[in-house]
Chains A and B, each alone.
Chain A
């Protein structure tokens, strides 16, 4: 039930429609604040013991960090994960960066991959990792995008790191500075 691979770029996750695991003893829903989510509806219909937590992405990640481990666990999530029974099921909804930040925290807390269900991202907006200066940008909607760290125009590729929750950005006109393709919306 965990995200599968895209068939063209294998590192890009594919998401399936989310459904309730009614064999779980407890269901925890984690929803990104401010994003349209179908999890509230699923939460209403879920018959197991349950809880729902709504968080903004900014509480999970510190965009001032250029390091490799940038996710921080808010108290509310660490308490919730620590108190989950063995057969708990986690459902996550939000932007793709939010999904994988929560996924990483859940795995660190000891959940198994099959206990985590990620909903289709609620927005095409991506987190982008600049391969040149290691800056990470949230909410990128277009390619190329100017890196807010080093200023280079970056091609946003479909190559995705689940650990970083980010797509890779690569200087699009490194070979010839005069070449700068038109901006396209990301899908």
Chain B
């Protein structure tokens, strides 16, 4: 079932973030098999798993909405470079506003309303108590740049890729919960460039296939995939910028606290073609769930053991799991049958 946004919890300091039992049930568990390998695991972004599932609507607004928007505000204040756009991306940002507001108002009429009168738009977000009138396409009519305006109201990071020369360029984004990559460094890169440090995907041809697929996504046919890593503590902002703050957490994992401290971090990535600019948008929606909550589902517990046990060393290293991976496999071993 869909759970209404609950009061603000934290993704830092005292880490008050929790998942309700309903949130556990609807968690997008990312492993279809007992071994994990890269694949272009893309499917149409259509409803599945029924009412209230994480896949029901274009954007999944769940119980963590207020918490994630409060966290985004904290990061943007500390690190304004978490929201960047190259100058030619203005139209794509307005596309993103159009697509986002249209979906939100249609899927969650109790929270969001959008009224259009030609270019005069009126947007209301009851969850954040925002009500603004603006001229569509006129960035000066918003209280902040369009990417930041919409990014502060949508869960998950947002990236806009410009499409040219049969390639995708990451030319705009708002990124406050990245799994260890820097928008400030990567902005402007081509698809293969920003995936440069990822192991396997280049030699196995995955990048080329993914790029071919993504550049051919037409309007109205959004697609999705899941990606994952592990994070110590429910920390959303694991950016390279703040690595000196969260890096030491990896040494705090012990057999006694591993169940509460290690979180499976799942990204529900949605790709959609923007109508005016032809840019490709990507929403990277992050879900966090600790081992204790995950193993309440016996199927997930068993699968997670086998996935972790068989994870290639290169991926253990790349995902930053080296320091506690053996401990996690030992802890999960009791669920192997």
Across the interface, B193 reaches (CB within 8 A) one of A10, A132, A152, namely A10
Whether the pair A174, B197 counts as a contact (CB closer than 8 A) is no
Q: Would you call A163 an interface residue if the criterion is a C-beta within 8 Å of the partner chain's C-beta atoms?
A: yes
Please name the residue on chain B nearest to A170 by beta carbon. Answer: B240
Q: Report the bound CA distance from A44 to B143 in whole Å.
A: 58
Known: A152-B244, A176-B248. A68 touches B196 (CB 8 A): no
Whether the pair B84, A10 counts as a contact (CB closer than 8 A) is no
Q: Report the bound CA distance from A175 to B251 in whole Å.
A: 7
What per-residue 1/0 map shows which CB atoms of A142-177 lie under 8 Å from chain B? 000000000010000111111110001011001110
Q: Report the bound CA distance from A162 to B188 in whole Å.
A: 9
Would you give the shortest CB distance from A35 to chain B, in whole angstroms?
25
Q: Report the bound CA distance from A157 to B248 in whole Å.
A: 21
Known: A10-B207, A11-B193, A11-B197. A168 touches B202 (CB 8 A): no
Whether the pair B185, A161 counts as a contact (CB closer than 8 A) is yes
Q: Report the bound CA distance from A12 to B186 in whole Å.
A: 13
Known: A11-B193, A11-B197, A174-B248. A131 touches B202 (CB 8 A): no
Q: Report the bound CA distance from A5 to B251 in whole Å.
A: 36
Q: Which residues of A have CB within 8 Å of B248? A: 174-176
Whether the pair A129, B244 counts as a contact (CB closer than 8 A) is no
What per-residue 1/0 map shows which CB atoms of B191-220 lie under 8 Å from chain A? 011111100001100010000000000000
Known: A10-B202, A12-B196, A168-B185. A68 touches B84 (CB 8 A): yes
Whether the pair A131, B184 counts as a contact (CB closer than 8 A) is yes
- Main SS at interface, chain A: loop
Would you give the shortest CB distance from B76 to chain A, in whole angstroms?
16
Whether the pair A11, B247 counts as a contact (CB closer than 8 A) is no
Would you give the shortest CB distance from B262 to chain A, in whole angstroms?
15
- Main SS at interface, chain B: helix
* Residues from 232 to 257 in B contacting A, C-beta threshold 8 Å: 240-241, 243-244, 247-248, 250-251
Q: Report the bound CA distance from A9 to B200 in whole Å.
A: 10
Q: Which residues of A have CB within 8 Å of B188? A: 161-163
Chain A residues bordering chain B, tally (CB within 8 A):
26
Whether the pair A134, B184 counts as a contact (CB closer than 8 A) is yes
Whether the pair B81, A11 counts as a contact (CB closer than 8 A) is no
Across the interface, A175 reaches (CB within 8 A) one of B186, B195, B207, B323, namely B323
Please name the residue on chain A nearest to B165 by beta carbon. Answer: A113
| A-B residue pair count with CB separations less than 8 angstroms | 76
> Interface residues of B toward A: which range?
20 to 34
Would you give the shortest CB distance from A174 to chain B, in whole angstroms?
3
Please name the residue on chain B nearest to A175 by beta carbon. Answer: B247
Q: Which residues of A have CB within 8 Å of B99? A: none
Q: Would you call A7 an interface residue if the criterion is a C-beta within 8 Å of the partner chain's C-beta atoms?
A: yes
Whether the pair B182, A5 counts as a contact (CB closer than 8 A) is no
Whether the pair B241, A163 counts as a contact (CB closer than 8 A) is no
Whether the pair A170, B243 counts as a contact (CB closer than 8 A) is yes
What per-residue 1/0 map shows which CB atoms of B162-192 lie under 8 Å from chain A? 0000000000000000000010111111001
Known: A10-B202, A168-B182, A175-B248. A68 touches B193 (CB 8 A): no
Across the interface, B243 reaches (CB within 8 A) one of A11, A157, A171, namely A171
Q: Report the bound CA distance from A9 to B189 in whole Å.
A: 14
Would you give the shortest CB distance from B244 to chain A, in whole angstroms?
5
Q: Which residues of A have CB within 8 Å of B81? A: 68, 134
A-B contact pairs, 24 of them (CB 8 A): A9-B196, A9-B197, A10-B196, A10-B202, A129-B185, A131-B184, A131-B240, A132-B243, A134-B81, A134-B184, A152-B244, A160-B196, A161-B185, A161-B186, A161-B188, A162-B189, A163-B188, A163-B189, A168-B182, A168-B240, A174-B243, A174-B244, A175-B247, A175-B251
Residue ranges of B at the interface with A (Cβ–Cβ < 8 Å): 81, 84, 182, 184-189, 192-197, 202-203, 207, 240-241, 243-244, 247-248, 250-251, 323
Residue ranges of A at the interface with B (Cβ–Cβ < 8 Å): 5, 7, 9-12, 68, 129, 131-132, 134, 152, 157-164, 168, 170-171, 174-176
The 5 tightest CB contacts between A and B, nearest first, are A11-B196, A174-B247, A163-B188, A175-B247, A10-B196
